[in-house]
Chain A
Amino acid sequence: MQYQSQAVAKLYFTAAIGLFAGQILFGLILGLQYVVGDFLFPEIPFNVARMVHTNLLIVWILFGFMGAAYYLVPEEAERELHSPGLAVLMFWVFLVAGALTILGYLLVPYSGLAKMTGNDLLPTMGREFLEQPTITKIGIVIVALAFLYNIGMTILSGRKTVVNLVLLIGLAGLAVLFLFAFYNPDNLVEDKLYWWWVVHLWVEGVWELILGSILAFVLIKTTGVDREVIEKWLYVIIAMTLITGIIGTGHHYYWIGTPEYWQWWGSVFSALEPIPFFMMTVFAFNMVNRRRRNHLNKVAVLWALGTAVMAFLGAGVWGFLHTLSPVNYYTHGSQITAAHGHMAFYGAYAMIVLTIISYAMPMMRGRKAANSNRSQVLEMWSFWLMTVSMVFITLFLTGAGILQVYLQRYSDTPLPFMVVQEKIALFYWMREVAGVVFLAGLVLYIASFFVGSKDPEAAVEQAASPTA
């Protein structure tokens, strides 16, 4: 750690891991409710558990992004953070607001929460992923503005690097696009049209810029490859992201009342959306192959490569699978969507946050560069358990989705929704088993912060052999 103020990231990363654990517990509850329909009913109905699951995901990823920014921006800008105090204050504001919101979901019926928080004054609640009470949304905007101010001031008065600039563009885009969460007209079609400006333009737009810059930072640090080379790659990747991803929003405009030309725009551009993810994979492997040093933190490199591969599979391949409008006509809103959502979020965003945590946390906890061998090996186990089980979760949901689409929508004698759900229950059981393995991986992940923490650091660094 080169600058003291980078240490504020530790708070953010710790909270992110805690909320991640909460997300997974609620995921297991949801998975069980899929097959044991009355599990925890009526105390925690499915919709409440789902809100907790998805909102915890969003919040922990945001904590991860903010932590990543607080860690890497000072190092890139070669100066201390503009205001470490503000960063700590905003951490607590965000954590308390987030915790109160989650408690609100769990302890008060949702309609009661809407009433308590005055949703009728400015109705924004009750839309997927944007379930937070309006007051929480306003809190998110305030935290985001304070965060952008802090990061922006640091970048502006320091060394300007492409990594910092791209990160800043991504974060600013994240904040600006979130403002569309406040637009909720009575017209359902317009509601949906602009809802996607938050959801799609986040995950298939500006978040990819954040992902790209964090990945570039970790690769610069762990491979020692010339910054010029990495920055050029980063520009090309994010160029392809926005060139394909912005119009790619059209793949959400096929069946929601919007004009039919979107079937062409959406199909063509979103079919190109895997390209930046494929380039990211090529990029990551290329840089690691051309490395000028063998970094001691092997597990961080594993996470970085894993992110690139899994983001390509989850977002790229599984996205393409159902993005062409003639296919999407049958798969829209089925378990295929759920399969894609799980691997894409894990592969792109969960894994990039785990990558930067894996790289930065050892140094923030007093190591020179890396954890002990024992700790790293345990973390590698957690990497493989979580990643492989997520592949299986995705495959089982895909199996469920193919059957669902056939039985409910494609065959000559379409069956009712609930009849189909019972027929495909086996796949939901298998998904739940895979989910339990994921939880085991997460337990090992958390354990890796404690196991071997008193052991000496991993062996001394050796220069990469010339043939490598």
Chain B
Amino acid sequence: MSEAFTKVMARNIFYGGSLFFLLLFLALTFDTEGTLPERDNRQAITGKVAMGKRLWENNDCIGCHTLLGEGAYFAPELGNAYKRLGGKAGIIGFIESRPKDGIPGRRSMPQFNFTDEELDAIAEFLKYSSEINTANWPPNIQG
């Protein structure tokens, strides 16, 4: 790099640039928070949905699945599972029917032995997730 461009100038670009873009990022985040109520389906968050989210977390579902495209890529996307599996009954039926010892040679979801209330909570959580405005993602029902 040329001699005219000094270390002090480089340092000032670092501090000034970082600070400026950090503040811009905070401002954009603040604005985002303001627009979220119209997009994030928060009015649907009931006690049941919160319970479903906790079950989702406490069983590390994200370790195989994606949810809104984030997570692991071993098992199907679940942000639209409510639509793909045909509503709550489809979701509950699928989770309930997983064989304890898996399926020979194939990937299989574990049998979690959820109670009926827990199954309903998970389905409610996935219903809530499917109604978040995701700018039309995923491109089709296959996720």
Contacts and interface: CB of A to CB of B under 8 A. Distances in A.
A307 interface: no
A247 interface: yes
B20 to A, nearest CB: 8
Given A186-B53, A418-B107, A259 B102 contact: no
Given A228-B7, A238-B14, A255-B135, A126 B57 contact: yes
Contact of B1 (A236, A246, A415, A416): A236
Interface stretch (A137-145, A326-334, A368-376): A326-334
Interface residues of A, number: 77
Interface residues of B, number: 75
A231 B7 contact: yes
B59 A50 contact: no
Which among A41, A186, A265, A338 has the highest number of chain B CB atoms within 10 Å?
A186
Nearest to A126: B57
A115 B141 CA distance: 35
What 8 A-B pairs come out closest when comparing CB atoms? A47-B63, A126-B57, A333-B69, A37-B107, A235-B10, A255-B137, A189-B40, A239-B14
A468 B138 CA distance: 54
A326 B24 CA distance: 24
Interface string A258-273: 1110110100000000
Interface string B91-125: 00000000011111111101010000000000000
Contacts of A229: 1
Interface stretch (A80-88, A296-304, A406-414): A406-414
Nearest to B77: A333
A44 B40 CA distance: 35
A334 B39 CA distance: 24
Contacts of B67: 188
B13 A415 contact: no
Contacts of A246: 18, 21-22, 24-25
Contact of A189 (B14, B36, B100, B102): B36
Interface of A: 33-34, 36-38, 41-42, 45-48, 50-51, 110-111, 114-115, 119-120, 123, 125-128, 131, 162, 184, 186-190, 192-193, 228-229, 231-233, 235-236, 238-239, 242-243, 246-247, 249-250, 253-260, 262-263, 265, 329-330, 332-335, 337-338, 408-410, 414-418, 421
A414 B140 CA distance: 8
B59 A236 contact: no
Contacts of B40: 187-190, 257
B42 A187 contact: yes
B138 A123 contact: no
Contacts of B100: 42
Contacts of A243: 17-18, 21
Interface in B45-64: 45, 49-50, 53-54, 56-64
A264 to B, nearest CB: 11
A42 B107 CA distance: 10
Contacts of A45: 64, 110
A47 B64 contact: yes
B101 A42 contact: yes
B76 interface: yes
Contacts of B6: 232
B6 to A, nearest CB: 7
Nearest to A419: B142
B112 to A, nearest CB: 8
Contacts of B139: 329-330, 409-410, 414
Contact of B60 (A115, A131, A259): A131
B114 to A, nearest CB: 10
A271 B110 CA distance: 40
Contacts of B31: 259
B13 A37 contact: no
A111 B71 contact: no
Nearest to A236: B10
Contacts of A232: 1, 5-7, 10
27 contacts: A37-B105, A38-B103, A38-B104, A38-B107, A41-B102, A42-B100, A42-B101, A114-B57, A127-B57, A128-B72, A187-B42, A188-B128, A190-B40, A232-B1, A232-B10, A233-B1, A235-B11, A236-B1, A242-B14, A242-B18, A247-B28, A254-B135, A257-B36, A257-B134, A258-B32, A260-B135, A408-B142
A329 B69 CA distance: 10
Given A34-B74, A51-B63, A335-B73, A126 B58 contact: yes
A96 B116 CA distance: 39
A192 B110 CA distance: 25
B47 to A, nearest CB: 9
A332 B39 CA distance: 20
Contact of A37 (B42, B53, B108): B108
Contacts of A247: 21, 24-25, 28
Given A38-B105, A186-B50, A257-B36, A51 B60 contact: yes
A253 B74 CA distance: 22
B7 A46 contact: no
B98 to A, nearest CB: 10
B18 A127 contact: no
Given A37-B105, A42-B101, A128 B75 contact: no
Contact of A417 (B28, B57, B69, B77): B77
Nearest to A231: B7
A257 B140 contact: no
